[in-house]
């Protein structure tokens, strides 16, 4: 008589209209070093070729089962919950169809369960950018050390790691607490994970990667995942809605003491993502954004704000006061050593962001930028703000830039200033000097033509992106700062020029502070010979490449 053995772990792969990537996800499960698993493909009623692909995968390996929902739920929760209902194993994991599990993920997490009786185990998440292949770890400081956590109150910072897919759950733990993914809402992982953290008696963290998360930073907005559709106000509303649900859960479950930590996580992570996008939003969107977030911001614990960097507090306060154009400007300072355009000093000597003294004590506290030491820093580290006001094509591969420099600390002497635009596509810098003339106290303007054909490129050519910086000179000292560009302007591409032919494109950065971005791409002889030279080190090879180019010309 043949008996069917119960698998150790059930892994649910949720999928919707992703026939192309589903086989990769499932393959990553079937090659696990711990093979005693059950794989459930939970299809949220796809309308593409996903059903036939899923059935073929199930037919090829008896460990794979296919579950198709009768109608589309529009989210991740229902496909996961339906799979939990039929899962046979004592331990459960979840995978999205566009991601993978490292080959030893199941083995590592299951071993941690068997070492100690815990409610779930979790590990590191490896992020992979599909455009560059660059790999990084999600929230690395939270998973750097192997340990067992005796309740979330002992490490509330773990609330930042809200992914459900980086964990292996004990089935009995989920059933005992009737813990399931909330259906009918987005950002379900945040609520589910907050509940799991609070309900768990203890859980184990391991530093090894257990999930591979593929990131597509330049995917079309409408094709982006729900969590990445930040351009939609419905996305903002969904995120605020789930925050309120988490707040209610913390209060009713007796975990109200975690509220400040959770509020800090919201400000530092959730709000921060929208804040970085503010320079790219129009007035109507900004007004709608303020309408949605401001009522919620007013409910957060004051201590959560105090733990933020000053620039983030400034952006939040400007949004709360509906100074939206100013909030857009302040958002360009996030994560950068960039000064405000203007500041004002009150009677106590405190320096505030903007042109007017804040009216309330709370606003004065949030907009106080005295800690930037705009007047006192040594010149090499002094803060300025350099903005490109126009970008126009010049002759050949040159570009004309109009630049405005703000000096709110009045560090520069009255009169013209010596400045340079510096860009380094290879080891040698292209330095273009120009003059900044005073317009009014603390503001200077100038124009410069940067001839990109004059850049000294490596013999093997150069393919990549560089962001020019602006260098100031004063009394033998230099100061180098970020060069901000208009958030939108037509990309400029020059025809291949020079002895090392490259196509050169000048464009907006399109993310972060919005710097000027210059992209080089080898063409012609450079593209054919360059890769060979790049693999062969030494001056003789580089000289040979030069001779080859000369002969071909």
Distance between CA atoms of residues 320 and 302, nearest Å: 14
CA distances from 507 to 66, 69, 371 (A): 46, 45, 34
Residues 111 and 19 in one domain: yes
What angle, rounded to 10 degrees, do the helices at 524-535 and 539-552 form? Answer: 160
pLDDT tens digits, one per residue of 318-335? 999 999 999 999 999 998
**pLDDT for res 131:** 83
**Mean per-residue pLDDT over the chain, rounded:** 91
pLDDT tens digits, one per residue of 73-127? 999 999 999 999 999 999 999 999 999 999 999 999 999 999 999 999 999 999 9
Confidence bin at 497 (pLDDT 50/70/90)? low
Q: Which of 307, 341, 372 is the last residue of a domain?
A: 372
Domain containing residue 110: CATH number: 3.90.550.10
Helix or strand or coil: residue 112?
A: helix
Q: Is residue 320 part of a domain?
A: yes
The 3-state secondary structure of 489-542, one letter per residue: CCCEEEEEECCCCEEEEEEECCCCCCEEEEEEEECHHHHHHHHHHHHCCCHHHH
Residues 240 and 205 in one domain: no
CA nearest to 525, candidates 499, 496, 494, 549: 549
Tokens of 65: 């089962």
For residue 550, is pLDDT > 50?
no
Going by C-beta distance under 8 Å and a sequence separation of 6 or more, which residues neighbour residue 275? 312, 315, 316, 331, 334
**pLDDT for res 525:** 59
Instruction: Note whether 373 and 399 are within 8 A (CB).
Output: no
Query: What is the number of structural domains in the chain?
Result: 3
Residues 540 and 399 in one domain: yes
Cβ atoms within 10 A of the Cβ of 303, count? Answer: 12
Distance between CA atoms of residues 297 and 317, nearest Å: 10
CA nearest to 118, candidates 144, 150, 143: 150
DSSP for 302-361, please give it: HHHHHTS-HHHHHHHHHHHTT-HHHHHHHHTTTTS----S-EEE-TTS-EEESSS--SSH
Q: Is residue 537 part of a domain?
A: yes
Q: Is residue 4 part of a domain?
A: no
**pLDDT for res 426:** 78
> Which residue has tokens 């959770």?
262
Tokens of 279: 């320079």
Average pLDDT score over residue span 488-502: 79
Q: Which of 184, 219, 254 is the last residue of a domain?
A: 219
Least confident of 112-126, 143-157, 223-237, 532-546: 532-546
Q: Is residue 80 part of a domain?
A: yes
**pLDDT for res 172:** 98
Handedness of CA 106, 112, 114, 119 (dihedral sign): negative
| Burial (CB count <10 Å: 0-12, 13-18, 19+), residue 87 | buried
Confidence bin at 427 (pLDDT 50/70/90)? confident
Residues 362 and 385 in one domain: no
Cβ atoms within 10 A of the Cβ of 476, count? Answer: 6
Residues 360 and 386 in one domain: no
**pLDDT for res 248:** 97
Residues 92 and 169 in one domain: yes
Tokens of 307: 């733990």
Instruction: Note whether 483 and 434 are within 8 A (CB).
Output: no
Residues 207 and 301 in one domain: no
Domain containing residue 437: CATH number: 2.60.40
Q: Is residue 155 part of a domain?
A: yes
Distance between CA atoms of residues 361 and 368, nearest Å: 11
For residue 530, is pLDDT > 70?
no
Helix or strand or coil: residue 474?
A: strand
**pLDDT for res 512:** 72
Tokens of 246: 């988490």
Confidence bin at 528 (pLDDT 50/70/90)? low
For residue 188, is pLDDT > 80?
yes
Residues 70 and 215 in one domain: yes
* Helix residue ranges per DSSP H, 2-68: 22-30, 50-60
Going by C-beta distance under 8 Å and a sequence separation of 6 or more, which residues neighbour residue 303? 260, 264
For residue 519, is pLDDT > 60?
yes
pTM metric for this prediction: 0.88
Residues 309 and 411 in one domain: no
Instruction: Round the CA-based radius of gyration of the chain to a whole number and report it.
Output: 28
Tokens of 400: 């004309």
Tokens of 491: 């990309």
Cβ atoms within 10 A of the Cβ of 159, count? Answer: 23
For residue 520, is pLDDT > 60?
yes
**pLDDT for res 496:** 65
Q: Is residue 224 part of a domain?
A: no
pLDDT tens digits, one per residue of 125-142? 999 999 888 999 999 999
Question: Percent of the chain having pLDDT more than 70?
Answer: 91
E strand segments, 118-162: 120-129, 135-138, 147-149
Q: Is residue 3 part of a domain?
A: no
Average pLDDT score over residue span 440-466: 92
Give Cα 90 to chain centroid, integer Å.
Answer: 35
**pLDDT for res 547:** 45
The 3-state secondary structure of 389-426, one letter per residue: EEEEECCCCEEEEEEEEECCCCCCCCCCEEEEEEECCC
Residues 296 and 387 in one domain: no
pLDDT tens digits, one per residue of 335-389? 888 999 999 999 899 999 999 999 999 999 999 999 999 999 999 999 999 999 9
Tokens of 11: 């892994």
Distance between CA atoms of residues 324 and 275, nearest Å: 11
Handedness of CA 189, 191, 194, 199 (dihedral sign): negative
pLDDT tens digits, one per residue of 229-280? 778 999 999 999 999 999 999 999 999 999 999 999 999 999 999 999 999 9
Residues 20 and 87 in one domain: yes
Handedness of CA 173, 176, 177, 182 (dihedral sign): positive
For residue 2, is pLDDT > 50?
no
CA nearest to 37, candidates 98, 99, 107, 86: 107
Q: Is residue 100 part of a domain?
A: yes
Instruction: Write b or e for each residue in 382-402: b if 16 or more Cβ atoms lie within 10 A of its Cβ, otherwise e.
Output: bbbbbbbeebeeeeebbbebe
Distance between CA atoms of residues 498 and 527, nearest Å: 14
Residues 70 and 152 in one domain: yes
Average pLDDT score over residue span 17-33: 98
Question: Structural domain of residue 185, as residue ranges?
Answer: 9-219
**pLDDT for res 548:** 42
Confidence bin at 533 (pLDDT 50/70/90)? very low
Q: Which of 327, 342, 372 is the last residue of a domain?
A: 372
For residue 513, is pLDDT > 70?
yes
**pLDDT for res 552:** 39
pLDDT tens digits, one per residue of 171-184? 999 999 999 999 99
**pLDDT for res 233:** 92
Instruction: Note whether 460 and 541 are within 8 A (CB).
Output: no
């Amino acid at each position: 008589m043949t008996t069917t053995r119960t698998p150790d772990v059930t892994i649910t792969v949720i999928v919707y209209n992703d026939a192309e990537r589903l086989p990769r996800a499932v393959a990553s499960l079937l090659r696990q070093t711990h093979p005693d698993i059950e794989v459930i493909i939970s299809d949220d009623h796809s309308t593409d070729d996903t059903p036939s692909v899923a059935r073929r995968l199930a037919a090829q390996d008896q460990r794979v089962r296919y579950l198709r929902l009768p109608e589309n739920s529009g989210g991740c929760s229902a496909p996961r919950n339906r799979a939990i209902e039929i899962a046979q194993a004592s331990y459960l994991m979840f995978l999205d169809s566009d991601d993978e599990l490292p080959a030893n993920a199941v083995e590592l997490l299951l071993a941690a369960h068997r070492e100690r009786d815990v409610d779930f185990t979790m590990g590191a998440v490896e992020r992979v950018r599909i455009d560059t292949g660059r790999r990084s770890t999600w929230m690395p400081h939270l998973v750097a050390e192997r340990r067992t956590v005796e309740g979330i109150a002992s490490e509330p910072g773990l609330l930042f790691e809200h992914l459900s897919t980086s964990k292996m759950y004990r089935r009995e733990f989920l059933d005992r607490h009737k813990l399931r993914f909330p259906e009918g809402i987005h950002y379900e992982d945040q609520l589910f994970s907050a509940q799991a953290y609070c309900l768990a008696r203890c859980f184990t963290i391991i530093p090894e990667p257990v999930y591979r998360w593929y990131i597509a930073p330049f995917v079309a907005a409408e094709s982006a995942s729900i969590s990445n559709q930040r351009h939609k106000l419905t996305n903002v509303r969904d995120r605020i809605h789930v925050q309120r649900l988490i707040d209610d859960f913390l209060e009713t479950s007796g975990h109200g003491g975690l509220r400040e930590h959770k509020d800090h996580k919201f400000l530092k992570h959730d709000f921060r993502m929208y804040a970085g996008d503010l320079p790219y939003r129009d007035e109507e969107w900004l007004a709608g954004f303020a309408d949605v977030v401001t009522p919620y911001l007013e409910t957060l614990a004051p201590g959560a704000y105090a733990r933020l960097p000053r620039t983030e507090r400034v952006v939040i306060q400007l949004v709360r006061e509906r100074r939206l154009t100013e909030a857009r400007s302040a958002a360009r300072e996030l994560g950068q050593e960039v000064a405000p355009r203007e500041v004002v000093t009150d009677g106590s000597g405190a320096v505030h962001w903007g042109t007017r003294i804040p009216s309330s004590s709370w606003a004065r506290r949030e907009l106080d930028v005295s800690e930037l030491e705009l007047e006192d820093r040594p010149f090499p580290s002094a803060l300025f703000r350099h903005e490109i006001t126009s970008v126009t094509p010049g002759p050949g591969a040159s570009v004309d830039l109009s630049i405005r420099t703000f000096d709110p600390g009045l560090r520069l002497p009255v009169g013209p200033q010596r400045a340079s635009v510096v860009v380094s596509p290879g080891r040698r810098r292209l330095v273009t000097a120009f003059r900044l003339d005073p317009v009014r106290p603390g503001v200077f303007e100038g124009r410069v033509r940067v001839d990109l054909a004059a850049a000294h490129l490596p013999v093997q050519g150069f393919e990549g992106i560089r962001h020019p910086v602006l260098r100031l000179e004063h009394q033998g000292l230099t100061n180098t700062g970020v060069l901000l560009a208009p958030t939108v302007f037509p990309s400029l591409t020059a025809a291949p020029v020079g002895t090392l032919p490259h196509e050169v494109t000048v464009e907006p950065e399109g993310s972060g502070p919005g710097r000027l971005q210059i992209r080089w791409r080898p063409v012609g002889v450079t593209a054919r010979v360059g890769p060979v030279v790049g693999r062969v080190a030494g001056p003789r090879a580089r000289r040979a490449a030069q001779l080859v180019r000369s002969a071909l010309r």
